[in-house]
Structure 1
Amino acid sequence: MVSTYVSYLTVARDMNASLSAVASKATVASDTQYYKDNINKVTSVDEFMGDYRLYSYAMKAYGLEDMTYAKAFMKKVLESDLSDSSSFANKLSDGRYADFAAAFKFSGETKEAQSTAQETNLLDAYQASFDDEQDNISSETSYYQGAIANVTSVDDLLGNTRLKNYVLTSFGLSTDYTSTSFLRDVLTSDLNDPNSFVNQLGDPTYLNLAKAFNFDTDGNVAAGGAQSADQMSIVTNGYAVSSATFASSQTGSAYSTYYSAAIANVSSVDDLMQDSKLVSYIRTAYGISEDDPDNYISAALKNADVANAIGLGDLHDAFNFNEDGSLSAGVSAQTSDQAATTSASFATNYQTAIANFSTDDAIDNYKTRMASVTSINDFLKSNATDDDSTNDDEPELWEVALRSFGIDPASVSKSELRSVLSSDPNDPKSYVNGLKDDRFVAFREAFNFDKDGKVSVPLQAMSESVVDDFAAAYKQNKMRYLTGTAQTDAGKAADTEATYFRDQMGSIKTVSDLLSNSRLVNFVLEAKGIDPKSVSSADLKKMFSSDLNDKKSFVNQQSDNRFAEIVASFNFDKDGNISKDPTGSVQQRGDVLQTVNDYLEQTLESDQGDENTGVRLALYFQRKAPTISNAYDILGDTALMQFFTTTFNLSSYVSSMDVDKQADMVNKYIDLKDLQDPDKVESLIKRFTAMYDVKNGTQGTSPALSILSNSSSGGISADTLLAVAQLKTA
């Protein structure tokens, strides 16, 4: 009779060939195809368990074939919340039940307006936008100051879109709708001629614009340059104030400089009120709410009685306007003392605004409200109309989102937002792509609304439930064999990597994106128990370009089927882009492939067990050894426990000992870290097969068995045999 070890080697030496032989059997092939075709047609635990062919296939795949009859028990397993450590599946000592439950998602992937990664990326961009805003103001101002010195004509200024838009923004004019020819007429007007174009307009904004430059009526620059230092200061500080959306010391300084220069040119209340920057400055200086209309301010500036009646007496006293809003001849809008008082009040109140500015409340409100968004309508609902009365002053959801992508909320209507959010970013002819603006495409891709405006499952490189599985496996692998502080530190480090991986899955769009990030690649490989150093980037590229349905493809020809499972875990199409088509509901593609692979391995082991139980146990141990984290994994698995007791010639009565003493015994005989070393696993298998043959009276050609069974000359006593069997494996 052939020895158990030789029989084992016959199978294990070329595992791919052995598994292919099993897969080609008619019954196995038929059952496997049925499983692949139908597993994602079921929508509930009851439907799954009601289809015996599906259910029994899965049970066998996870080594639970003997429990197929226990449907009530298995239903509790499948309905367990694996995130709850006290759930039914998690409380079972045999980890196969939790593994089985984790392989199925009967609730389906979660439909949500934003995934965790999408929300995190958006809010990170939102926070960064404030620093970006300041940097952009500084950058544009530096450009303006350098370029304006080279302007020799009005056409030089207006022909440079960047300069022109800077000037328009500074004066609060539209960059989209202000005519260039109109601006030319304004800037080349003779300010001393009451009949000139700008003076005939009667608009102080355009008059101040013309005053800010030195162009002759022919459009050329007058002597002294396009702008003096004071003129440039008006424009640059006006730009800083107009562009700023939050309180900062940089903006406060620009406000004060602008106010000091601009107030000197004010000749009436109407002039002042037409300059929104001056009005904003006064509101801050005198504590006037944005809810109070502008006519409160203009009325208070004109009439002392009205000012006192509405609590703005200090404002009235700080200016010198007549009741008709004019200034008397030779009188300025403010004396130096009045201007100093106003400036001091502004500085005090603006410092308070700077101190009070925080994105925290806006972000908290965003997170809270987004958690309950189920449609575009919910997303576009104002804070003022939701159930929370404390968030009315916070930015709206769409304002936060648009700002994150550098889009001015004031430039987009709600109807346009609705069209953007309900369009398909993958369709070149969709509304959002028709805008020809990458910012709106990125904005659209940050949300998961379907064409009907309802939330859908996030479309990303790896589904969130699969990310959860990889994160759990990665952490388990990193903490394996560790104890105490080392285990805690490893767990924290693993959580950090998992968070990074989760966040990145929201932005990875192609296989190239994934493979170019070694941190992500290493995470994926290590989650599957693969040493990143053992596989090249070139091979990984070929694996991800392989056709999973082609048995001869590169990834399917690998001796380690975990690589195919990794490829299947991602939602990439044949071109390496994120697939628009679902890759599974109850089971993601990677889980289906793993189930099939496990089924083939179980079938192989079962078939071998029909001939020799020892071979089955050896194959099973070879497969499970790398996943064993502690002694209790062995104690909780009947097959592993049988392997252990046979290997070290221990009595079956060991199982009746105190469980902790059993664990101590396992650790005494096996250094569990050795189970990560294939050579040491093979040594244990040799020992097991030899002892199995001795115990079961099998005679064969195994050298180990020959020695242990005294088949060679110079016999070994029974006592020596026992001593050898009980030696701890080196």
Structure 2
Amino acid sequence: MKGLPVTSTTTLSTYTSYLLVNRDMKTSLTRVANESTVSRDTAYYEENIGNVTSVDEFVNDYKLFSYAMKAYGLEDMTYAKAFMKKILESDLTDDSSFANSLTDTRYQDFAAAFNFAGETKKAQTSVQTDDLLSSYQDSFKVEEKAIQTEVDYYEKKIGSITSVDQLIGDSRLRGYVLESFGLDATYTSKSYLKQVLTSDLSDPDSVANKASSDTWRKLAASFSFNTDGSVNGTIQTADEIENRRLDYIYNASTYPSDLLFSANQTYWEKNAASVSTATELVSDKRLLSYVKTAFDLRDTIMASSVASLMSSPSFASVYGNTELLDYFNFETDGTVTTGESALSSDQITSLAKRYKTAFQEDQKAAVDDAVSNFETRIAAVNNIDDFLTTNNDYYESDDDPNNNDTYDDVTEIWNVALRAYGIDPNEVTKSKMRKILASDVDDKKSYVNSLKDDRFVNLVKAFNFSSEGETEVPLLVQSENVINGYATAYTDQKARFLTGKELTDAKDAAEKEIEYYKTQMETISTRDEFLSNSRLTNFVLEAKGIDPKSVKSEDLRKMFESDLTDPKSYVNSLSDNTFAEIVASFNFDADGNLSTEPAGTIQQRGDTLETVNRYLRQTLEEEQGNSNSGVRLALYFQRMAPSITSAYDILGDTALQEFFTTAYSMSDYFASQDVEKQASTVKKFIDLEKLQDPEYVEKLVKRFTALYDTENGTTNSAALSVLSGVNSISADTLLAVAQLSAK
């Protein structure tokens, strides 16, 4: 036996030799790893696998390729480069792909260890999109609350104002007044506003009367300031305060909110019935918008046509819409009969119900359309220019800010994104947006950080754009390929040995857990976040065939806090290398934060570690086989047992089949039987569902080694004695004796 100082006169049983290796597998593998050739080949693999960028480059590097092939038990196929290229290029998510079409799962395992297709570049992950759209939808309630807050502030303060300077000096009051008249506070100087407010409206040469827009005269008329800025009594009537409220809500709203609905309804009831002609009604854009919404009229219909629909039966008949005639009391010439009103109280009530239904439908569609548009378009974004491209399918030119034109502008996906983070589209140009989105938030000197505005930083974090403006692979705690690998392994574990409805139910339940895992992996950014979620940690452990109950939470934390490069660290000291492979599959830095450096390229760090561990195990078994083929078969079975799910797994693997036929003294007749009969025999002797139980596997190994020694002439096999109960010497005692004899 290579590496073991056994004298030429010492003959160890197969089982004892197996125990010498398996009792402390960690030490056995370390011994193999320290062999000069193995150490050199492993170092070469670890140092160079990260530099590979293509399948051709990989298969043409013999040292790398042969190392990996041996690790996955495919050493005999190293010559078949073309065949293995097809394996490596297979899409494992496609059941009909080349690798998946092969019955030998070693090829699928090999393909899964690499990712030559690369990770998917995307402008946003599903979680990033969901978070942005959630913030976008929340923004409307935020807007509604902010508008109501300003209304409350104005109505509370305006009664105490005693001078024009006091009004103008309060930025919130000043902004409210200007907004209510549709004027921009940014471009209105305090001095000019003061001149307007103190204008003598009876003087045609006053500032208000000479202003370019009649709006300024109306603004001055809404207050009672003297020319010196003083006030005699109150500066506004209750009716005028109400008008400011209705107008402010109307002008400040960019979304059909409940607050806007209420304001529009009040405005309609206050003004519609008192008009004297249909033309007068439609000349007020708010009243016109109300009618268009209530009767679902197209935005582009002319105001004069709406007036005719309310008054002219002939026009309404030709137009194909006579509904409006029943809701208004206009004569055919568009006038109201003397002594009557444009609408009766019953008509106002009926129309209010109609308007509410239509408004709420528009309200829902406003959000749904923008969300749907964003989800559709963001999936096709490959660079920042795509993101900033106008969507002509959603663009509308209507100039009425409360008949959805403001909202239609927001359907542009960049405006959806800006609104989600509280950014007014007027704050930033497209050229500035390009610079912001191409910034590195981790670089303190980057453009976005120079703005000193968290809103823009959060905007950048919501997307995955490179400094060149192209989409990048999202930085996650586990790569997409690794996540998919865990998902597949989890399903395999949950579906083992199940059939029929049980299998269907298990797969459905697994799919729910997989969906949860995938979603959460896009949100986790620290080690603590991951470890605090038992649903996630259980998923990872179960995917690897580990019972979560067997792992204490404090021990799991010690594993994830271990230094993978230190052979003496906690996780590296464990007998089961699977834990180190799990830790290595995560992209955490030493402090437990999401690392900005990816954990691998065509092969992730965890897969590299698994490949190395597989290589060491293959080498160990190979070396043991040089001295005793029975030991190699025993070690191979012990390694493969947990993955066996059917009798055909054993029959389809030459080594496993030999293990079985030896362990149960099968004659040559067994091999000549139909495969179904062979499978039935295997299931008769081996409880396949117990092959994940180490004690059961050990029992089978004892049986195999005893019969193996018998078949090969070692009739006084110690293992056979233990198996048959001839004596009471334990396996541990036999091992101790063997170790003493070897000294």
TM bracket (short chain): 0.7 to 0.9
The aligned residue for residue 462 of structure 1 is: 478
Which of 343, 349, 365 lines up with 1:337 in the alignment?
343
Q: Does 1:59 align with 2:69?
A: yes
The aligned residue for residue 30 of structure 2 is: 20
**Corresponding letter in the other structure for 1:539:** D
The aligned residue for residue 674 of structure 1 is: 690
**Corresponding letter in the other structure for 2:267:** Y
SS at the partner of 1:337? coil
Task: Output the CA distance in 2 between the equivalents of 1:634 and 1:162.
Answer: 80
The aligned residue for residue 614 of structure 2 is: 598
The aligned residue for residue 736 of structure 2 is: none
Which of 252, 255, 259 lines up with 2:264 in the alignment?
255
The aligned residue for residue 415 of structure 1 is: 431
List per-residue Cα deviations over 1:581-638 (Å, max 9, x = no partner): 2332211122111111111111122122222222222222222222223333333333
* Contact in 2 for aligned 1:189/1:217 (Cα 8 Å): yes
TM-score by structure 1 length?
Answer: 0.79
SS at the partner of 1:492? helix
**Corresponding letter in the other structure for 1:254:** A
The aligned residue for residue 381 of structure 2 is: 373
The aligned residue for residue 534 of structure 2 is: 518
CA 1:597–1:573: 2 relative to 1, 3 Å: same
1:264, distance to aligned residue in structure 2 (A) = 10
SS at the partner of 1:522? helix
Q: Does 1:544 align with 2:560?
A: yes
Which of 670, 677, 684 lines up with 2:700 in the alignment?
684
Q: Does 1:426 align with 2:436?
A: no
The aligned residue for residue 391 of structure 2 is: 383
**Comparing 170-179 with 572-581, which one deviates more in the overlay?**
170-179
**Corresponding letter in the other structure for 2:391:** N
Task: Output the CA distance in 2 between the equivalents of 1:96 and 1:693.
Answer: 30
Task: Output the CA distance in 2 between the equivalents of 1:39 and 1:116.
Answer: 31
* Contact in 2 for aligned 1:113/1:370 (Cα 8 Å): yes
* Contact in 1 for aligned 2:124/2:464 (Cα 8 Å): yes
What CA RMSD, in Å, does the superposition of the two structures yield over aligned residues? 4.7
Q: For structure 2, which runs of at least 5 residues remain unmatched after alignment? A: 1-10, 331-337, 396-407, 729-743
Which of 13, 21, 43 lines up with 1:3 in the alignment?
13
Q: How does 1:316-715 map to 2 (within 5 A)?
A: 337=343, 348=354, 351-352=357-358, 354-355=360-361, 357-358=364-365, 359-384=367-392, 395-651=411-667, 653-698=669-714, 702=718, 704-706=719-721
**Comparing 670-679 with 248-257, which one deviates more in the overlay?**
248-257
List per-residue Cα deviations over 1:310-349 (Å, max 9, x = no partner): 999999x9899xxxxxxxxxx99x9563898788667636
Q: How does 1:32-181 map to 2 (within 5 A)?
A: 32-126=42-136, 128-129=137-138, 133-134=140-141, 137-138=144-145, 141=148, 145=152, 149=156, 153-154=160-161, 172=182, 174=184
List per-residue Cα deviations over 1:81-116 (Å, max 9, x = no partner): 212212222122221111111111112222222334
TM-score by structure 2 length?
Answer: 0.78
* Contact in 1 for aligned 2:706/2:717 (Cα 8 Å): no
* Contact in 2 for aligned 1:462/1:569 (Cα 8 Å): yes
* Contact in 1 for aligned 2:201/2:221 (Cα 8 Å): no
Q: For structure 1, which runs of at least 5 residues remain unmatched after alignment? A: 321-330, 714-730
Task: Output the CA distance in 2 between the equivalents of 1:520 and 1:161.
Answer: 51
CA 1:699–1:7: 2 relative to 1, 3 Å: farther
* Number of aligned residues: 686
Task: Output the CA distance in 1 between the equivalents of 2:13 and 2:555.
Answer: 38
**Corresponding letter in the other structure for 1:443:** L
1:705, distance to aligned residue in structure 2 (A) = 1.4
Task: Output the CA distance in 2 between the equivalents of 1:673 and 1:579.
Answer: 40
The aligned residue for residue 723 of structure 1 is: none
* Contact in 2 for aligned 1:694/1:709 (Cα 8 Å): no
1:412, distance to aligned residue in structure 2 (A) = 3.5
**Comparing 571-580 with 595-604, which one deviates more in the overlay?**
571-580
List per-residue Cα deviations over 1:334-367 (Å, max 9, x = no partner): 9563898788667636633533643555444434
Task: Output the CA distance in 1 between the equivalents of 2:79 and 2:295.
Answer: 80
Task: Output the CA distance in 1 between the equivalents of 2:696 and 2:224.
Answer: 87
Q: How does 1:198-237 map to 2 (within 5 A)?
A: 228=238, 234=243, 237=246
The aligned residue for residue 717 of structure 1 is: none
* Contact in 2 for aligned 1:141/1:236 (Cα 8 Å): no
* Contact in 1 for aligned 2:384/2:465 (Cα 8 Å): yes
SS at the partner of 2:691? helix
* Contact in 2 for aligned 1:318/1:342 (Cα 8 Å): no
* Contact in 2 for aligned 1:61/1:595 (Cα 8 Å): yes
Task: Output the CA distance in 1 between the equivalents of 2:222 and 2:574.
Answer: 73
**Corresponding letter in the other structure for 2:633:** L
Task: Output the CA distance in 1 between the equivalents of 2:391 and 2:151.
Answer: 39
**Comparing 337-346 with 14-23, which one deviates more in the overlay?**
337-346
Task: Output the CA distance in 1 between the equivalents of 2:722 and 2:524.
Answer: 58
* Contact in 2 for aligned 1:45/1:75 (Cα 8 Å): yes
1:55, distance to aligned residue in structure 2 (A) = 0.7
Task: Output the CA distance in 2 between the equivalents of 1:563 and 1:164.
Answer: 65
